[in-house]
A and B are shown apart, each in its own frame.
Chain A
């Protein structure tokens, strides 16, 4: 069975602080795909990144960075120098074939 755990329910920071969101996954597959999505108050899920199980390179995109570690089954997400527009619910997800298993989500609130 597949499972994604996001242990942090809510995180509140002041603007310009860094925020790290934890994601731990469980799967028996040797090939799998991990994703992060952002859901702002408007409701739309915005795709942020996909990571394949055979590619352990970390990635940086602007103020966003991701740390993928197969040894600990973790795929953590860091927002550097947070901004108010980063306030949203962030979901980590694991994909097997055409099914996405989402974590419970972490609500990030960035205060001005």
Chain B
């Protein structure tokens, strides 16, 4: 199974709402990622989890809160978002190279969640 799933596919929320994006993979990968992609732009890295621990936060505003409850699941909790946060949110996973702990292998992406903030 080489699939990363994301729910929901589409999400519309107001600026005062609280919502969560979910990501799941069953490839045994121990590194998971959140990316944000605006229209006609490349994906931008937001967070990296390695062995269920947050290893990279690319200076993302605190209204985005990631969570990795286990090795297969990754959540992104959203609160008090702004209209400029509207984008495609992509989850990815990869293997982690055991010796160095740094994942050198390819990342597999989910289909994304299209988020609209009103």
List chain A positions with a Cβ less than 8 A from chain B. 33, 35, 37, 42-47, 50, 91, 95, 97-100, 102-105
Contacts and interface: CB of A to CB of B under 8 A. Distances in A.
A44 B40 CA distance: 14
B74 interface: no
Given A45-B90, A99-B45, A105-B40, 16 more contacts: A35-B106, A37-B109, A42-B111, A43-B111, A45-B109, A50-B106, A97-B102, A97-B104, A98-B48, A98-B94, A99-B48, A100-B45, A100-B107, A102-B43, A104-B42, A105-B41
A76 B35 CA distance: 25
B55 interface: yes
Contact of B42 (A44, A98, A103): A103
B111 A98 contact: no
Best-buried of A43, A102, A103 by chain B (most CB within 10 Å): A43
12 contacts: A43-B112, A44-B110, A44-B111, A45-B92, A91-B42, A97-B103, A98-B31, A100-B43, A102-B43, A103-B42, A104-B42, A105-B41
A59 to B, nearest CB: 14
A46 to B, nearest CB: 8
B88 interface: yes
Contacts of B41: 104-105
A35 B108 CA distance: 12
Interface residues of B, number: 27
Contacts, number: 53
Contact of A47 (B45, B50, B107): B107
Given A43-B88, A44-B111, A98 B106 contact: no
A105 to B, nearest CB: 6
B56 interface: yes
Contact of B43 (A33, A35, A45): A45
Interface in B1-57: 31, 33, 40-43, 45, 48, 50, 55-56
